């Protein structure tokens, strides 16, 4: 049975939610599920904007058929070819044989690679600035390469002032009835997942996102329709401002987050002592994470949020405890910048973890190592306390 929403001005949400998938992209836990948003715009010629992952295609096709109500589907605009949005296109082409695909040359190439079908007979190529009308509605294409893949466009329907923003402004989390961000307690229930989605999926491409934000700032936007998560029609500037921070690697908090890899609890103990000193200094925003317990996507998101980051790790196989090193390498891969970094290493006979941690962060733009770098020999001693206190004073 169909499950659709009319979101105004002949625009219909015909997407679907998936709460069965454990790992988005086979990498990121999604306890709250995920939305695959697809939008049908009815006009003299009917236009679909993107499709959905194959896993929810049954519901999507029921939605589409219901809203079309026997009318022809004329155009498919593809903003992004990643299979979570293009996974139903092959079936769509079989069901709607007159369908014309409107997208970039790169998207056409990628789609042909995935689907192994020749699209040249049913393809309109768009570039940045291309406009296209379906009758009353007018679509303006804005290229957005590397938000998240090179082929990405977003499209602005100017009569309704609606921006279909592809992966930008998306979130993890399935729809629970309310599709609009102003219908939910976004800060309480969605912000963390929106940040975790942005930082892990698109976080590496901050400069590309900033370019898109600059282009979008010239538009009057009444509604923001991403491919995941919620639709925005109110206080859009609030979410855009979050994106400006995330895309420019600007922390939201001046607090301190501590990430430790500890085998027998002694490195963890050093972190707890440091946190105590930070609290005595009056810092309220302090969090401690065991990197072996907390999913890496949460830790990446945390590092994008907070200014002062402490990495504490035991020496392991002559290097850094693996889970901690994986986190740090992933932060580098995500292009994290402009952070204050503190380092605590532990070793019983040859502590080398700190050297490796510092080596990685010194390759990352704007990351400043905060002194003192601390070496614990097996367990914290009285003589280590002064250094931990000094480090606390130099953070935050």
Candidates 77-85, 126-134, 252-260, 361-369: pick the segment binding ligand FEO (CB under 6 A): 77-85
Q: How far is the CB of 205 from ligand FEO (least distance, A)?
A: 11
Contact positions with ligand FEO (CB under 6 A) in 222-241: 227-228
Size of site (CB under 6 A) for ligand FEO: 8
**Cβ pair 346, 312 in contact under 8 A:** yes
Contact 289, 302 (CB under 8 A): yes
Tell me: does residue 325 bind ligand FEO (CB under 6 A).
no
Q: Which of 265, 115, 147, 263 is nearest to 215 (CA)?
A: 147
Q: Say whether residue 334 binds ligand FEO (CB under 6 A).
A: no
Instruction: Please report whether residue 85 would count as binding ligand FEO according to CB under 6 A.
Output: yes
Candidates 76-84, 131-139, 208-216, 254-262: pick the segment binding ligand FEO (CB under 6 A).
Answer: 76-84
**268 binds ligand FEO per the rule CB under 6 A:** no
CB closer to ligand FEO out of 85 and 339: 85
151 binds ligand FEO (CB under 6 A): no
Nearest position to ligand FEO, beta carbon: 82
Per-residue contact flags (x/-) with ligand FEO for residues 161 to 180, judged by CB under 6 A: ------x-------------
Q: Where are the alpha helices (DSSP H) in the chain?
A: 57-68, 83-86, 89-95, 105-115, 186-189, 191-197, 206-216, 236-247, 266-280, 296-305, 322-333, 353-361, 382-394
Nearest distance in Å: CB 188, ligand FEO = 24
Contact (Cβ atoms closer than 8 angstroms) between residue 142 and residue 193: no
Q: Which is nearer to ligand FEO, 196 or 340 (CB)?
A: 196
Instruction: Please list the helix, strand and coil fractions of the chain in percent, rounded to the nearest 5, in that order.
Output: 35, 25, 40
CB of 198 to ligand FEO, least distance (A): 11
Q: Which of 330, 321, 334 is nearest to 343 (CA)?
A: 321
Structure tokens at 15: 């997407």
CA distance 163 to 176: 23
Tell me whether residue 14 or residue 278 sits nearer to ligand FEO (CB atom): 14
Site membership for ligand FEO, residue 339 (CB under 6 A): no
- Please, which residues bridge with residue 374 across strands? 344
**Tokens, residue 148:** 């998240």
292-329: b or e for each residue (b if 16 or more CB lie within 10 Å)?
Answer: eeebbbbbbbbbbbbbbbbbbbbbbeeebbebbbebbe
Residue with tokens 């009758």: 135
Among 5, 42, 59, 80, binds ligand FEO (CB under 6 A): 80
Q: State which of residues 148, 196, 307, 356 lies at the interface with ligand FEO (CB under 6 A).
A: 148
Position 78 contacts ligand FEO (CB under 6 A): no
| Shortest CB 83 distance to ligand FEO, Å | 8
The answer to the question of residue 49 lying near ligand FEO (CB under 6 A) is no
Interface residue with ligand FEO among 82, 157, 193, 345 (CB under 6 A) is: 82
Q: Which is nearer to ligand FEO, 168 or 236 (CB)?
A: 168
Cβ atoms within 10 Å of 337's Cβ, excluding its own: 15
The residues of the shown chain that bind ligand FEO, judged by CB under 6 A, are 80, 82, 84-85, 148, 167, 227-228
């Amino acid at each position: 049975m169909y499950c659709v929403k009319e979101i105004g001005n002949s625009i219909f949400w015909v997407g679907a939610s998936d709460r069965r998938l454990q790992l988005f992209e086979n990498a990121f836990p999604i306890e709250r599920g995920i939305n695959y948003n697809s939008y049908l715009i009815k006009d003299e010629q009917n236009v679909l904007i993107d499709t959905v992952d194959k896993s929810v295609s049954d519901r999507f096709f029921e939605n589409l058929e219901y809203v079309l109500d026997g009318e022809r589907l004329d155009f498919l605009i593809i903003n992004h070819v990643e299979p979570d949005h293009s996974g139903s296109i092959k079936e769509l082409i079989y069901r709607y044989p007159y369908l014309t695909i409107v997208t970039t040359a790169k998207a056409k190439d990628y789609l042909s690679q995935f689907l192994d079908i020749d699209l040249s007979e049913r393809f309109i190529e768009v570039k940045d600035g291309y406009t296209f009308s379906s009758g009353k509605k007018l679509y303006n294409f804005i290229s957005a390469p590397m938000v998240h893949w090179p082929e990405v466009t977003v499209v602005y329907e100017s009569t309704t002032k609606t921006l279909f923003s592809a992966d930008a402004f998306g979130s993890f989390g399935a729809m629970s009835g309310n599709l609009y961000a102003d219908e939910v307690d976004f800060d309480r229930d969605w912000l963390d997942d929106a940040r975790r989605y942005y930082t892990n999926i698109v976080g590496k491409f901050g400069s590309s996102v900033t370019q898109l934000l600059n282009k979008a700032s010239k538009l009057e936007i009444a509604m923001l329709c991403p491919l995941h998560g919620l639709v925005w029609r109110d206080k859009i500037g609030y979410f855009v401002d979050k994106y400006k921070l995330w895309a420019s690697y600007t922390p939201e908090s001046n607090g301190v987050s501590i990430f430790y890899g500890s085998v027998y609890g002694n490195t963890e103990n050093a972190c707890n002592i440091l946190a105590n000193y930070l609290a005595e200094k009056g810092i309220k925003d302090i969090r401690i994470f065991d990197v072996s317990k907390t999913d890496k996507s949460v830790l990446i998101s945390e590092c994008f949020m907070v200014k002062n980051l402490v990495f504490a790790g035991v020496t392991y196989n002559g290097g850094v405890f693996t889970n901690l090193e994986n986190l740090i390498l992933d932060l580098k891969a995500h292009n994290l910048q402009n952070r204050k970094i503190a380092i605590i290493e532990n070793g019983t006979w040859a502590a080398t973890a700190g050297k490796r941690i510092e080596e990685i962060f010194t390759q990352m733009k704007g990351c400043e190592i905060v002194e003192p770098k601390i070496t614990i020999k097996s367990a914290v001693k009285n003589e280590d306390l002064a250094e931990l206190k000094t480090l606390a004073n130099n953070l935050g």
